[in-house]
Amino acid sequence: MSEHGDAGVDEVTSAMLTASRLLVAISVRSLAAVEGAVTLPQFRLLVVLSSQGPSKLVTLAGLLEVNPSTAMRMVDRLAAAGLVSREASPESAREVRIQVTAAGRRIVDDVTARRRAEIAGVVSRMPAGQRQALVAALRAFTEAG
């Protein structure tokens, strides 16, 4: 703590990195629960499609911050597994849109539910006052980003 009782930037950064390691561990465990059906990058693609709706490959690549060729390989694997589908764009027959299938959405929903339950378990072990402070801090952190 600084002389004014506020956590300094280094202290907050260190705490955030520690918390992020816990969140990554929770993410990995929740994804492992679907028995290796998808990798973490493939799961991210499914989440993007679930939230954005049908998308062009170049849009997906941009949102995932990967090369279009990398996104194409992920889409190919997910399509082969029946987790995404391709269809012609209503705007142009030459353009293809990728969308999540019902099976892909079930994976997103299952992993998200597991992640949410584990995070809720961690949060429930915190005193109520700390939970409220955490909500305020996380909102401020998100807004600053």
61 lies in which domain range?
9-144
Question: Looking at the DSSP assignment, which residues form a beta bridge with residue 100?
Answer: 84
Greater pLDDT, 1 or 145? 145
Q: Is 2 a residue whose pLDDT tops 70?
A: no
CA distance 8 to 133: 16
Q: Using CB atoms within 10 A of its CB, is residue 71 exposed (0-12), middle (13-18) or buried (19+)?
A: buried
User: Helix, strand or coil for residue 88?
Assistant: strand
- Does 128 map to a domain? yes
What does pLDDT average to over the chain?
92
The pTM score is 0.81
Q: Is 143 a residue whose pLDDT tops 50?
A: yes
The beta strand positions in 45-118, using DSSP E, are 55-56, 84-88, 96-100
Count of structural domains within the chain: 1
Confidence of residue 4 (pLDDT cuts 50, 70, 90): very low
* Cβ contacts of 104 within 8 Å, gap of 6 or more: 46, 49, 50, 78, 82, 83, 84
State how beta strands 84-88 and 55-56 pair: unpaired
Q: Is 42 a residue whose pLDDT tops 90?
A: yes
Confidence of residue 1 (pLDDT cuts 50, 70, 90): very low
Other CB atoms closer than 10 Å to residue 6's CB: what's the count?
10
- Does 1 map to a domain? no
Confidence of residue 5 (pLDDT cuts 50, 70, 90): low
- Does 116 map to a domain? yes
Q: Is 53 a residue whose pLDDT tops 80?
A: yes
Q: Which CATH number fits the domain that encloses residue 89?
A: 1.10.10.10
- Does 86 map to a domain? yes
